[in-house]
Chain A
């Protein structure tokens, strides 16, 4: 018998100040802030879970797998405290044992400036003055720097010919945001320095706990949260946002803050006809970032694994090479080991292996080939893991893989992009409200605004713009300072 379809929009208001499209970290953070500022906010998410890529899934046997909880910079504590709650921020803990293992070197580090300085001097023989100057240069980079210098040139300047050092400095960042040696050095400088500040951190309780807490806070602040709600269209008239269509139903709003992919927002949800040609030229130049594959391994109940590190950057490739890292023929993997400390009381372990990947390599496969290749990926991952956790096959009782197709299905992002767009996307995202009054975008863009910290902070920056816009709609309310 057919179940009557549930009306996920039941009781929805006819109009809102802001409709936030998507509940990724940027979408949720901006929704929370806007509601706290007194605006009526509807948060619409097409998936049944919130969190976007900050997500998890459960499997038989008591397994919980985290997707993007490999680690984030220390700055996340402050962001969680200021824009979420003190309690949430207090759950952030450090991951102290980060490992590298490749043909060029094997190193353990706490992944902060002090330890990196030590390793660069002692292990790689770099002069202290050079290391110090490199850190100062990386830290000093900001938005306004000229974009001519690439990360490759930055490394060439400080560590000429030292591909081992380049690998040490670059590989983790490539995994953190998909960037390469050819991206602007400033994107490297900002993200690298954020990590070097104090190291790599994670959330105790797991992603499920974090998202549950965030949901509670959103509800407390009065956000109308709707899952299973696909935003199909943003209505625009005379360069002004009028409303949205969600699951076939029209809802009025004064502003839209889209956490959907930047290009999807412009080309599909709004429609190119609303933008001027110069802007569309810029849009056409925006490159999407790469996607990912992951292999999730659940450890049997009662089994343990020794402490072999929290994050392990392993590779069998001779040198760091972006092309090779993206290759379907995997040579490099990042292993995240989740020990019971991540979810205290559960006494369970899981391991997630991540690789960067290209959508096309997976999308072009036939159904049967796709299945086979996923299976092969699982098996080769277990083989690679055997070196670090002997007897791994006996300990694992659940294994499955995700591909760029999986990421696309769950987030709707074109080509399943894991980290939004390359640098040029940031300007397009920032300029969106200049094209259409009341249309804002917040979410992974420009490399620096991706990752948990980047996305959440970008949500704040754009919520500020949205708040300003909404207050200007009510004349007399806002006093603009001028001196």
Chain B
């Protein structure tokens, strides 16, 4: 998977969690929380989705890496690089 694929995956997950938000204009370096209405339950959903879709476990201490899109991508890309988009 490429960096772009990983970014798209995060966008897909966010679209499910926050269907009323405009996620197309997300800025990668600004906190997701400051751009769309996300609470701590929503972040938990991201963690659950990553586990469900890719069997990836994000330990609680690493949640901070998920705060921005850029953070998500750099954290997840090494874990997903050998996977195909279909998984």
Q: A residues touching B (Cβ–Cβ < 8 Å)?
A: 33, 37-38, 75, 78-79, 82, 457, 460-461, 464, 467-468, 471, 477-483
Contact = CB atoms under 8 A, between A and B. Distances in A.
Nearest to B75: A483
B55 A461 contact: no
B79 A481 contact: yes
Contact of A480 (B44, B45, B57): B57
Contacts of B79: 479, 481
Contacts of B17: 82
**Residue of A75, A477, A479 contacting most chain B CB atoms (<10 Å):** A479
B56 A483 contact: no
Contact of B51 (A75, A79, A82, A467): A467
B57 A483 contact: no
B57 A79 contact: no
Contacts of B47: 464
Contacts of A82: 17, 41, 45
- 10 pairs of A and B residues whose beta carbons are closest in the complex: A480-B57, A478-B55, A481-B58, A479-B56, A478-B57, A464-B48, A481-B79, A479-B55, A481-B56, A477-B55
Interface string B28-64: 0000000000010100110110011011111100100
A461 B62 CA distance: 17
B65 A471 contact: no
B30 to A, nearest CB: 21
Nearest to A38: B52
Nearest to B61: A482
A483 B77 CA distance: 11
A481 B48 contact: no
A464 B48 CA distance: 7
B44 A460 contact: yes
A457 B56 CA distance: 22
B44 A461 contact: yes
Name, among B39, B44, B48, B52, the residue most crowded by chain A CB atoms within 10 Å (CB to CB).
B48
B52 A479 contact: no
Nearest to A483: B75
A460 B41 contact: yes
Nearest to A476: B55
A478 B44 CA distance: 17
